[in-house]
Structure 1
Amino acid sequence: MDWFTAPDYWLSRLVFQRALAGLYLVAFLTAALQFRALLGERGMLPIPRYTARIPFRRAPSLFQLHYSDRFFAACAWAGCAVSAALLAGADSLLPLWSGILLWLVPWALYLSIVNVGQTWYAFGWESLLLEVGFLAAFLGNDEVAPPIVVLFLLRWILFRVEFGAGLIKMRGDACWRKLTCLYYHHETQPMPGPLSWFFHHLPQPLHRVEVAANHFTQLVVPVLLFTPQPVASAAAALMIVTQLWLVLSGNFSWLNWITIVLALSALRFPTTAPSVPSAPLWYEVLVLAVAALLLCLSYHPVTNMISRRQVMNRSFDPLHLVNTYGAFGSVSRIRHEVVVEGTLDDLPREDSEWREYEFKGKPGDPRHWPRQFAPYHLRLDWLMWFAALSPAYAGEWFGGLVERLLENDRATLKLLRRSPFPPDTPPRYIRARLFHYRYTTWRELRETGACWERVYVREWLPPTRLAYAADRM
């Protein structure tokens, strides 16, 4: 049936699938390298404790059936292996039905992780990866041309990502409507990148142009995705350029990259399509059934998107098949950071020596220039940004972090850039203090070499020893 497939998009499918497999690989690698301290049996938010109170129907996961750190590691590294195989094109070597099943393996494994990931996995890009990953399984391989309906649904996801983000900005912080949010955003974003300091110091008129361009890209351009070519490709290309600008300006995990990957599926590359047979009937029926299901599940996300009480980054089904997205509806005007310190003194005194823990991504030492980590996701660093906004955001896990620092827990210390204490000499007390951070000026940077200037605000957590660490939060 000629109406079912779009042969001209065979290269778009190839590029999209390989790029998506690369993001899967990053996601599973992040899980494999960080889970023990965050979610393991001795983690800050242990999975067994979570699955004991949350039923399977609310959070479907392999780990509802069995959990051990060894089993989680096996699942995470298996996800890495399958993702690497898909990146290498293994699905093209298999029959169509086997290729579909192979694509569903990383989706099922990552769903199992996200559904028990709790606060550490409560980000929109987790659901977005699952939604895109599920749909990608039905895009086919070299045995068939890409189905039109799946290409349409990928654009539907891209539309909701961009348009939803645009709406929540217009309905949220007034600075988006005044075009002034970028006066602050590059300085106060969760995890600045190596170029964020320079972005912050761009002239304010250019910041206003940035915001206006963002509104145009998120509120006007998405509609053009559903127009004929080459307009749809031009719209997708503009989104890619915008997302690359965001990639340069900060560390947003794989949020920008998966949006770029989605946009790639809407591009029609000027190349000759190979000759492939017609799609088998069973495949057509399967794709149409999946499309019907996803369109039905779109009701709640669309209702939320057009509501005046729009919420961002919400899943409406436990399989994360269709979700709602949006980011930075409000922008902080000042940056606070929680600085964690420890001492070896048996009893803290005013003249005690307090040594600071250094994190990999979050600002700490004012002289340490931010590094590029995205699309890799530093989960603890991101949650520390929320902790600085309010202790309520850290109530579940910060006590566990302090307890493990007091024990010099090896898995936890691996999440940090540097511990100020030898492995065999843990601190006797841990405290946390809140600081106000701001970017230095050009003159201050030349004179001091520091990209940040920080001022003490208040005590965030009083000196705490091991016996009481888990009870202080």
Structure 2
Amino acid sequence: MEWFTAPEYWMSRLVFQRALAGVYLFAFLTAALQFRPLMGERGMLPVPRFTARVPFRRAPSLFHWHYSDRFFAVCAWTGCAVSVALLAGLDGYLPLWGAMLLWLVPWALYLSIVNVGQTWYGFGWESLLLETGFLAVFLGNDEVAPPIVVLFLLRWILFRVEFGAGLIKMRGDPCWRKLTCLHHHHETQPMPGPLSWFFHHLPGPLHKVEVAANHVTQLIIPFLLFTPQPIATAAASLMILTQLWLVLSGNFSWLNWITIVLAVPALELPADPPAVPDAPLWYVVVVLAVGAFLLFLSHRPVLNMLSRRQIMNRSFDPLHLVNTYGAFGSVSRIRYEVVVEGTLDDVPREDSEWREYEFKGKPGDPRHWPRQFAPYHLRLDWMMWFAALSPGYAGAWFGAMVERLLENDRATLRLLRRSPFPPDQPPRYVRARLFRYRYTSWRELRETGACWERTYVREYLPPTRLATVAQRS
């Protein structure tokens, strides 16, 4: 069975598995701490309402059989516990079949969450974690050397992530071909990080070098993943460095981290692998069958990459086994933000005392410097960025959010950085206004201490009270 395994990747597998368990932990922690106000029984997009209209075959999930907020919490915290166990290496103490079942648990639990997550879980890194997590089930433990088929398929995912992202950029916004997208991107990205202001103020020629280097990393380097060592290691290392640069420049949830994790199996890390017996026949048959099936499913993302109408971040099957990826095919030139405010006045007027709600990650008060949250994912903050692009992105949940704010709903307020109203005194009216935001200059930063400057654009939602929200819903 020497043809089936690659013992020299023993250490690479170990690092990959522990790092993937860490990403799983952040994903389940995000779900456990945020699900109630987003999609709980009284959430903005309740799971029971979704499962009532979408059949199991279209969105397989445990929650089709039973849903309660308590059951969801049990599933999410169980996912956290299993992730910690895998992070600690429990799979290495189990027989091969037991380790595979243990890795199957977080995949099945997270699939159940993603498939009922609706808008809140419509991001490409959800499918990326599921596709990677499914392959991790078949990577084996200390009883067998890493199977070559699974190592190849992990590189195949990384190839599609990088090459698909490169293609969507070249086919999309002309600024990628002109090398000028980074003149805007650091300012208009969904959730800036603590260093994004400084990245934005880098010299224009350096921004062009960044874009050119990105094109090389995404359009040329991915092919080197399938070359002999040490070229494949060099290619994967370059991808890791690029992703670390992106980690510094913004808050992209765990997208960059899962991409780094995917690059690890392509690294030939120094190790002295222990002697292990040949892989059992049943394991060889299962791995080969799964590999052949996944390669067959891969024709759909390949056709998508070859198409001039390439789409980003789409799952072709309800289990998210093989997907297509891509990001920032277009780059906004202007940043808009929805600012949500409330008042205690019985009759709302323009000169009323309107108090602003502060979100954790999205820009609000111009003096509040962005914080680092990734790989933790602030789902409401991300969707507020989409809501500012177009009200169509917020139609399904924005009214419900306003209703919860008018009720001083404690679960919803936990998603925010600060509510301007005491718990026993909810606002009488809530409104939303659209502002244009731009980074301040070095001089403005020194004079005002503010990293943002904002300008009122228009009304986004007129003053609304509970009766008005109820009528609309």
TM (norm. structure 2) is 0.99
Residue 331 of structure 1 and its aligned partner are, at CA, apart by: 0.1
Secondary structure of the equivalent of 1:348? Answer: coil
* Contact 1:399 1:471 (C-alpha < 8 Å) held by counterparts: no
1: distance between equivalents of 2:392 and 2:10? 49
Secondary structure of the equivalent of 1:431? Answer: strand
Residue 335 of structure 1 and its aligned partner are, at CA, apart by: 0.1
Residue 186 of structure 1 and its aligned partner are, at CA, apart by: 0.1
* Contact 2:10 2:271 (C-alpha < 8 Å) held by counterparts: no
Q: Which runs of 5+ in 1 are unaligned?
A: none
Tell me the residue number matched to 1:26: 26
Tell me the residue number matched to 1:35: 35
2: distance between equivalents of 1:140 and 1:397? 42
Residue 470 of structure 1 and its aligned partner are, at CA, apart by: 4.8
Q: Say whether residues 1:95 and 2:95 are aligned partners.
A: yes
2: distance between equivalents of 1:211 and 1:471? 49
Tell me the residue number matched to 2:159: 159
Q: Deviations over 1:81-116 (max 9, x none)?
A: 000000000000000000000000000000000000
Tell me the residue number matched to 2:308: 308
Return the letter of the residue paired with 1:373. Answer: F
Q: Say whether residues 1:145 and 2:145 are aligned partners.
A: yes
Tell me the residue number matched to 2:229: 229
2: distance between equivalents of 1:223 and 1:469? 53
Percentage of pairs with the same residue: 84
1: distance between equivalents of 2:296 and 2:417? 46
* Contact 1:28 1:79 (C-alpha < 8 Å) held by counterparts: yes
Tell me the residue number matched to 1:355: 355
Q: Which runs of 5+ in 2 are unaligned?
A: none
1: distance between equivalents of 2:230 and 2:280? 30
Secondary structure of the equivalent of 2:339? Answer: strand
- Structure 2 counterparts to residues 28-177 of structure 1, below 5 A: 28-177=28-177
Q: Say whether residues 1:445 and 2:445 are aligned partners.
A: yes
Residue 452 of structure 1 and its aligned partner are, at CA, apart by: 0.2
2: distance between equivalents of 1:396 and 1:271? 52
* Contact 2:11 2:270 (C-alpha < 8 Å) held by counterparts: no
- Structure 2 counterparts to residues 374-413 of structure 1, below 5 A: 374-413=374-413
Secondary structure of the equivalent of 1:265? Answer: helix
CA RMSD of aligned residues (A): 0.7
2: distance between equivalents of 1:472 and 1:427? 19
Tell me the residue number matched to 1:285: 285
Return the letter of the residue paired with 1:281. Answer: L
Secondary structure of the equivalent of 1:44? Answer: coil
Return the letter of the residue paired with 1:110. Answer: Y
2: distance between equivalents of 1:392 and 1:428? 26
* Contact 1:340 1:431 (C-alpha < 8 Å) held by counterparts: yes
Secondary structure of the equivalent of 1:229? Answer: coil
Q: Deviations over 1:348-367 (max 9, x none)?
A: 02321000000000000000
Secondary structure of the equivalent of 2:342? Answer: strand
Query: 1:174/1:348 Cα in 2 relative to 1: closer, same or farther (>3 Å)?
Result: same
Return the letter of the residue paired with 1:13. Answer: R
Return the letter of the residue paired with 1:246. Answer: L
- Structure 2 counterparts to residues 420-459 of structure 1, below 5 A: 420-459=420-459
Residue 299 of structure 1 and its aligned partner are, at CA, apart by: 1.1
Return the letter of the residue paired with 1:330. Answer: S
1: distance between equivalents of 2:287 and 2:425? 59
Secondary structure of the equivalent of 2:44? Answer: coil
Residue 270 of structure 1 and its aligned partner are, at CA, apart by: 2.0
2: distance between equivalents of 1:77 and 1:118? 20
- Structure 2 counterparts to residues 191-210 of structure 1, below 5 A: 191-210=191-210
Secondary structure of the equivalent of 2:67? Answer: coil
TM (norm. structure 1) is 0.99
2: distance between equivalents of 1:429 and 1:27? 35
2: distance between equivalents of 1:470 and 1:173? 41
2: distance between equivalents of 1:407 and 1:303? 49
2: distance between equivalents of 1:350 and 1:285? 71
Return the letter of the residue paired with 1:153. Answer: L
Secondary structure of the equivalent of 1:371? Answer: coil
Q: When the two structures are aligned, how many residues end up with a matched partner?
A: 473
Q: Deviations over 1:18-43 (max 9, x none)?
A: 00000000000000000000000000
Return the letter of the residue paired with 2:2. Answer: D
Residue 472 of structure 1 and its aligned partner are, at CA, apart by: 4.8
Q: Deviations over 1:295-321 (max 9, x none)?
A: 111111111111000000000000000
* Contact 1:315 1:323 (C-alpha < 8 Å) held by counterparts: yes
2: distance between equivalents of 1:58 and 1:299? 21
Residue 471 of structure 1 and its aligned partner are, at CA, apart by: 5.0
2: distance between equivalents of 1:70 and 1:431? 33
